[in-house]
Structure 1
Amino acid sequence: MSKFDKIRPYYDAEVNEALRSSINHPMMKALMDFAYPNVDESIWKEQLLRTHSIRDFQINFAYEAVKKVLEKTSDGLTTSGFEKLEPNTAYFFISNHRDIILDTSLLNVSLHEHGLVMTASAIGDNLVKKDFILKLSKLNRNFLVQRNLQPRELLESSKLLSEYMYRLVSKENRSVWIAQREGRTKDGNDATHTGVLKMMAMASDEKNNMDFFKKIKLVPVSISYEYDPTDALKMPQLMAEANDEIYTKEKNEDFITLLSGIIGQKKRIHIHIGEVLDSELTQIAEETNNTNKQIQALAQVIDDSILQSYKLWPTNYIAYDLLHNSNNYADKYTEKEKQLFERRLELRIKTDDVKMKESFLAMYANPVINKLKYEKIESV
């Protein structure tokens, strides 16, 4: 038994058995009917039974399902920066995180279309408690981040996770994706948590952690959705935090959020690949030997890349103007786009609740505020 068995995705030798045990599950039928609406059930079942590797499953089934999601629930995906990546090369992608499934699925679709190495991706074990969802995630090369552990268990789990991710990149030539923080960003303020970087560095055998981050080819990624399909679902937690209350999730909340992210309207989506961090890491190492200060500086470098390259949509500018009762960005959107956004606002939240309305608008407006900081710095 491998020490990574608790967290790793399937080996190719396990794929066919997992598919055979899931082929008659109603959710498999729903998934296939969605991805292949005009294909007879007997045909896709036969194809699944002939599938013996994760790559085959991803390319022949998952890829088509994600393309169908884009077709039915968005106005398309655009990308930038992928030309900076080399084929047959593993990278360690760290990105802002808005949607449980789609962030990594869309990244992998884009990597595949650019002829690049697809990722193994981190997912919280709290999100895959249902047996079918767990199997599906392992078929999509997800590895598990163990949640809700006691401090000692958490330390051991973090070491294991760090070692596993490093092994993927350095030994298996497999790219890795991880979010810049635990859980999705709910208020639109994307920020890298230093704890994530410290966990990643646990596998380092370098004297200086910046040399380790160079070795794994760390790449910041930004992803932005014109409409967040789970925006209204994020409100209860935001309101609890605003009122200094402890938020407790409903029983099936994560599963509902997962499905809503897939089937909800997103309009346009953009993914940007930042520069592979190198000279920035050299500069950090030259400026300080203090490990904590180095990690803080690295978090800032990642934030700078993600926030500056974040694609702003009309919805972001509309929310900013509504929140500040201004017309500062009226040239960035049409009156029709504004009316559609206001209608969405009315349908999804209680607009007579001032605090809730402000929180909803801030979710969309904060990326504008964050980008504005960089424009001010550049104009100085």
Structure 2
Amino acid sequence: MNIPAEFDEIRPYAPEELPQVYEELIADPAFQKVATGIMPVPFETIAQEMRSCTSNLEFQKKFFYNMIKQLLSKHSKGLTEDYSALDKSICHTFISNHRDIVMDPGILCVSMIDAGFSNTTEIAIGDNLFAYPWIKKLVRIVKAFIVKRGLTGRTQLQALNTMSRYIHFAITQKHENVWIAQRQGRAKDSNDATQESILKMLSIGGEGSIVEKLSEINIVPLSLSYEYDPCDYLKARELQLRRDNPDFHKTPGEDVLSMRTGIFGYKGHIHFQAAPCINKEIQELAIQYPKKTDFFPALAKLMDKHIYSCYHIFPSNYIALDWIEGSQHFKDKYTANDKLEFEQYIYKQLTKIELPNKDESFLLELLLKMYANPLINYLSVQE
């Protein structure tokens, strides 16, 4: 396929580029160390298997499918998914809440294979996560396209335009699915809200009216539900640091720690669920809200409604909200043992937070809100 050169800096590697990239990774000692740490086989075996993959999808299936499955078997109670609302013969743009840097898109691809999709998805990933050169190469092999962070002014606008055009190209010309988070970065308190800027960016590419542009990429709201978030204590720590220091900025090492914790931390049960494609609702909203200043806020609210309604609610969510409110309103949703286990888990996570001026009451409230907010949002959209 002839891919326009304007996408070269951000797109996934094309199949013909893979052999050279494989050799670059195979020769990288840092990649060798990580690969053998995750896959308990000789590196020569890994290298041989890499060289045998002739496409990005084949690499995903051969390496990442089994790797993610093994991680889930060790660090979760299992994965369920529901894509019954979708026509699998059509390529979609999945817009979801965002919990985990690596596992969200990784599990999404696995769940799509398990659900019988013929293809996985291309993944939007921020360049702030490329702490090491091998990470950038590896993610572009597994069908990630790069979101350029830290830009301002004209360069930022140009980058957004290019990314939007690429997403439309990926859907309509490459016939790939696309995944992008509903906001920049993870919602640290699990209070998920779709940023209008994401939707506006998607409306740049393509041809015709805003409705036609958005409709051609077949937007699907997607809900990612984790019983436990292994990065919860890291997120709470960051929120206190931001409270205490408005100029706080994360270091690259902190993102690497979050990636490692998310990959190897315990997640409990995991459920991914897709709402129906919203093309028809987009058309209805455009009639109801003809002005762009009204249309995009309404579209963001629609996205949130679908994402909230598709949450899988766990006992931990009910316990957290009862704990915050000092009530037993949802006591029929969990057992005494569920409550004891969750309380022990929260206090254990609290002890992991290392800060010189540790505000335990503030941090405890943050941890509880991370588990209560999905339930609060879910209840807010029930008829």
How does the TM-score come out when normalised to structure 2?
0.92
Structure 1 position 13 matched with structure 2 position 16: yes
Residue 272 (str. 1) matches residue 279 (str. 2): no
Distance 1:267 1:282, change over 3 A: same
- CA distance in structure 1 between the partners assigned to 2:51 and 2:378 by the alignment: 49
Stretches of structure 1 lacking an aligned partner (at least 5 in a row): none
| Aligned: 1:366 with 2:373 | yes
The answer for the alignment partner of 2:339 in structure 1 is 338
Q: Which residue of 2 aligns with 1:164?
A: 166
What's the CA shift string for 1:316-360, capped at 9, x where partnerless?
Answer: 111111111111111212222222221222222259721111111
Structure 1 CA distance for aligned equivalents of residues 322 and 123 of structure 2: 36
- CA offsets, 1:15-68, max 9 Å, x none? 12111121254554455546643x444333222222232112111111111111
Query: Partner of 1:22 in structure 2?
Result: 25
Aligned pairs (5 A) from 1:25-40: 25-26=28-29, 28-29=31-32, 32-33=35-36, 36-37=39-40, 39-40=41-42
SS of the aligned residue for 2:7 comes to: coil
Question: d(CA) in 2 for partners of 1:362 and 1:259?
Answer: 23
Partner Cα separation in structure 2 for residue 270 and residue 34 of structure 1? 27
Q: Residue 84 of structure 2 aligns to a residue in which SS?
A: helix
**Aligned with residue 354 of structure 1, among 335, 357, 361:** 361
State which of 74, 77, 94 in structure 2 corresponds to 1:75. Answer: 77
> Within the alignment, does 1:206 sit opposite 2:213 as a pair?
no
Contact 1:69 1:263 (C-alpha < 8 Å) held by counterparts: yes
Show the counterpart of 1:246: 247
1:260-317 CA-to-partner distances (Å, cap 9, x unmatched) read 1100000100000111112211211111210121111111111000001111111111
User: What corresponds to 2:182 in structure 1?
Assistant: 180
Matched, 1:106 2:99: no
Q: CA deviation at 1:129?
A: 3.3
Identity of aligned residues (%): 35
SS at match of 2:277: coil
The Cα offsets for residues 190-238 of structure 1, whole Å up to 9 and x where unpaired, read as: 110001111111114222x122222211100000100001000101232
2-side partners of 1:26 and 1:317: how far apart?
46
Aligned residue type for 1:303: D
CA contact (8 A) 1:16 1:49 kept: yes
CA gap 1:313/1:30 in 2 versus in 1, 3 angstroms: farther
Counterpart of 1:293 in structure 2 is: 294
CA apart distance, 1:71: 0.8
- Residues 83, 34 of structure 1: CA spacing in aligned structure 2 closer, same or farther, 3 A cutoff? farther
Letter in 1 for 2:317: N
- Report the alpha carbon displacement of residue 133 of structure 1 after superposing the two structures with TM: 0.8
Q: How many residues align?
A: 373
Normalised to the residue count of structure 1, the TM-score between the two structures is 0.93
Corresponding residue of 1:155: 157
Q: Could you tell me how far apart the structure 1 residues matched to 2:27 and 2:158 are?
A: 37
Tell which deviates more after alignment, 233-242 or 216-225.
Answer: 233-242
Secondary structure at the counterpart of residue 212 of structure 2: helix
Q: Which moved more, 1:320-329 or 1:70-79?
A: 320-329
Matched, 1:142 2:149: no
The aligned counterpart of 1:217 is: 218
Amino acid at match of 1:19: Y
Residues 127 and 255, structure 1, Cα contact 8 Å, conserved in 2: yes
Q: Paired residue for 2:355?
A: none
